[in-house]
């Protein structure tokens, strides 16, 4: 296992609600990235946090927001949930050294919006 | 924006046969990584390629990075049932840019 833990593992929400997903990074890793993986597709980059600051963002609307805490754990918040937000949300931690480093993924949170 | 495509989308092979998946980026990459995702699981890092024309081997797996750093391939020799899963390539556009753009994936199933 990678040492990256996510909670909860599964979640069902109603359209219009808000959700918070959590990620604990691997020990020593100061960078956390969030990905959305729809069924049958590859992970899509949402954003990344490095030392508590957002460090890059993909093509996701502002209702997707995040935080990183001093212990490098992170949260992903999604407001005004839509049916298309149903997906596996993956958190990956890393300790980048000039950009060449592997990402250690958590097991993901399966979000279903009904 | 940057797009990364993989072919084939699906591959069914008899156990013992070889398997290859190809990855093509719309833009030049600084490096490329390969991940394996088992059914119901999360992506697991396999390898990273950085240099133009680089070839790396891991037991039965051979990874190549194209000369133009826009394409890559993964070849598995003599597949085993443990190779089942979806293989993703993921590229970075620039050094220091942590955004990984994942390919569309190739799902490998093995016929025993």
Q: Which two tokens stand for residue A110?
A: 């399966």
Pick among B100, B102, B103, B107 to test the A interface (most A CBs inside 10 A): B100
**pLDDT over 90 for what percent of chain A?**
78
pLDDT score at A64: 98
Please state the domain extents for chain B.
4-111
pLDDT score at B2: 81
Query: How far away is chain B from the Cα of A36, in angstroms, using its nearest Cα?
Result: 11
- Bridge partners (DSSP) of residue B25 are B4
By CA distance, what is A39's nearest residue in B? B40
pLDDT score at B97: 61
Q: What is the pLDDT of residues A58-94, one digit of tens each?
A: 999 999 999 999 999 999 999 999 999 999 999 999 8
Q: Which two tokens stand for residue A35?
A: 């990905």
Query: How far away is chain A from the Cα of B18, in angstroms, using its nearest Cα?
Result: 23
Query: How far away is chain A from the Cα of B61, in angstroms, using its nearest Cα?
Result: 18
Residue with tokens 């620039």: B94
Q: Is B98 on the interface with A (CB under 8 A)?
A: yes
Pick among B98, B101, B102 to test the A interface (most A CBs inside 10 A): B98
pLDDT score at B105: 97
Q: What is the CATH T-level fold of the domain B4-111, as seen in this structure?
A: Immunoglobulin-like (2.60.40)
Q: Which positions ≥6 away from A62 have C-beta within 8 Å?
A: none
pLDDT grade for A1, boundaries at 50, 70 and 90: low
Q: Please indicate whether, in this complex, the C-beta atoms of A106 and B42 are within 8 angstroms of each other.
A: yes
Range with the lowest mean pLDDT among A9-18, A95-104, B6-15? A95-104
Q: What is the pLDDT of residues B25-39, one digit of tens each?
A: 999 999 999 999 999
pLDDT at A13 over 80: yes
pLDDT at A97 over 80: no
**CA-CA distance, B63 to B71, in Å (whole number)?**
11
Q: What is the pLDDT of residues A22-59, one digit of tens each?
A: 999 988 888 999 999 999 999 999 999 998 999 889 99
Q: Please indicate whether, in this complex, the C-beta atoms of B99 and A96 are within 8 angstroms of each other.
A: no
pLDDT score at A95: 81
Q: Is A94 on the interface with B (CB under 8 A)?
A: yes
pLDDT score at A10: 97
């Amino acid at each position: 296992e990678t040492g990256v833990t996510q909670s909860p593992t599964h979640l069902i929400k109603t359209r219009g609600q808000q959700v918070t997903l959590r990620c604990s990074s691997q020990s020593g890793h100061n960078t956390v990235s969030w990905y959305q993986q729809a069924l049958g597709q590859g992970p899509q980059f949402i954003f990344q946090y490095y030392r508590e600051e957002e460090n890059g963002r993909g093509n996701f609307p502002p209702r997707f927001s995040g935080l990183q805490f001093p212990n490098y754990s992170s949260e992903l918040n999604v407001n005004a949930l839509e049916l298309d937000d149903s997906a596996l949300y993956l958190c990956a931690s890393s300790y980048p050294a000039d950009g060449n480093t592997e990402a250690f993924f958590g097991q993901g949170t399966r979000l279903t919006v009904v | 924006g940057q797009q990364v495509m993989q072919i084939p989308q699906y591959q069914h092979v008899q156990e013992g046969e070889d398997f290859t998946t190809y990855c093509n980026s719309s833009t030049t990459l600084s490096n490329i990584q390969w991940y394996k995702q088992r059914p119901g699981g999360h992506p697991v890092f396999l390898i990273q390629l950085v240099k133009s024309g680089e070839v790396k081997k891991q037991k039965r797996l051979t990874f190549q990075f194209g000369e133009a750093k826009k394409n890559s391939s993964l070849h598995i020799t003599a597949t085993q049932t443990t190779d089942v899963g979806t293989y993703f390539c993921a590229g970075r556009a620039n050094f220091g840019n942590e955004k990984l753009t994942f390919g569309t994936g190739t799902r490998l199933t093995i016929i025993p």
